[in-house]
Amino acid sequence: MNRSLILSISLAALAFIWILSGSLSNNSEETNLQDSALTSSDHSSPSFKVKVEQIEAKLMLDRIDLQGDIEPAREIEIRAETDGTITSLENKKGTRITQNQKILTLAMNDRQARLARAKSELKVRKADLKSGLSLKAKKLLSENQHLQNVSNVVAATAEVKAIEIEIEHTSVTAAFNGVLNELHVELGDYVSSGTPLATLVDDQYITISADVPQQHIAKLKIGQKVSATLLNGTQFEGDIFYISSSADTNTRTFRIEAKAANTMGIQRFGQSARVSIYIGEQFAHKLSPSLLGLNSEGSLQIKGIDQDSRVITQTVEIIRSEKDGIWLAGLPKQFNLITVGQGFVSKGDEVNAISDETPSNANEHEASL
């Protein structure tokens, strides 16, 4: 029994020593592998590749794009200035007429007879004044009587003038060149003073109108250039002549108006248009929207690299969006932009930058192959 016990203890001790020696060997190997990996990592080059393009800012014409309208420069409603029956309509609605061209005529009635009587009365009053002056010179006429004669002449003259003006108002004419857009009366209608007769539209010039958001109103001033593009592509250019002093309480926008020559001869007003207001020049970069990202604060940013091939980020602001790209402000004049792989790198990462300079005839070469 003693020999068996001693033998068992000896075998157990040998087994423990063997297991312990294997564990120490494994730990030593793992330590060596870790050290080797760290050494390899420290001395190896960056493994992630990105494409980089050097971009340069361009001078762009800064503008504000809005939705607006095209309106006639002038539109007036012609009203009757005397009473009477319409005896003739000289033009149909939609007709182009010139300044002082007759539109319609009112009945003369007894106006000519009243004018003849007023003129005869004026002659009598003038004769009384003339004879009174002779008597006054001989001191046979009082000063009050002389003043009465003068007053009678003035009143008679005013009566003649009033009837002459009333006769002129029986013939309604155009105040300026334009289009007779509407006729509100028919032949034989009786109208009184103030009755609407017709609408005249001045189509030689147009008014470009739009509502400008309050964040842009400080950039505008009288005389700035404005362009308007209709849905069919027709374009007009004009100058701002009016900026509203108070904002619309509902939209917080300010109305602006610009005058432009109707060089294209459009005859349909009230059309909607894309209105662009030019507010100066500035340097900016035009890039694809796919290159934009968001930082932790939710601001737009662009990724690039510095001279040490490390990733940098730059906060940007969209100036204007177009069909083929967006104009951005906030980048330096020259910038090394990451064009491919920007989604897989972060600020401070060291990368292997490859120049993204595809030859302009690459597509043609591929097509020929």
The enclosing domain of 252 has a CATH number of 2.40.30.170
Final residue belonging to a domain, choices 169, 185, 212: 169
Helix-then-strand count for the chain, H and E: 4, 20
CA distance 210 to 218: 15
Domain identity same for 207 and 164: no
pLDDT digits (tens, 9 = 90+) for 308-340: 889 999 999 888 888 888 989 889 999 999 989
Domain identity same for 163 and 127: yes
CA distance 340 to 49: 9
Pick from 188, 189, 180, 214: nearest CA to 78: 180
- How many distinct structural domains can be found in the chain? 3
pLDDT digits (tens, 9 = 90+) for 105-148: 999 999 999 999 999 999 999 999 998 998 888 888 888 999 99
Residue 187 lies in a domain: no
Final residue belonging to a domain, choices 240, 262, 282: 282
CATH classification at residue 326:
2.40.420.20
pTM over 0.85: no
Domain identity same for 298 and 323: yes
Residue 335 lies in a domain: yes
The pLDDT, as a whole number, for residue 121 is 95
The angle at the Cα of 300, spanning 298 to 301, to the nearest 5 degrees, equals: 115
CATH classification at residue 131:
1.10.287
Residue 21 lies in a domain: no
Residues belonging to the chain = 369
Task: Give the range of the structural domain holding residue 242, as residue numbers without chain letter.
Answer: 65-70+203-282
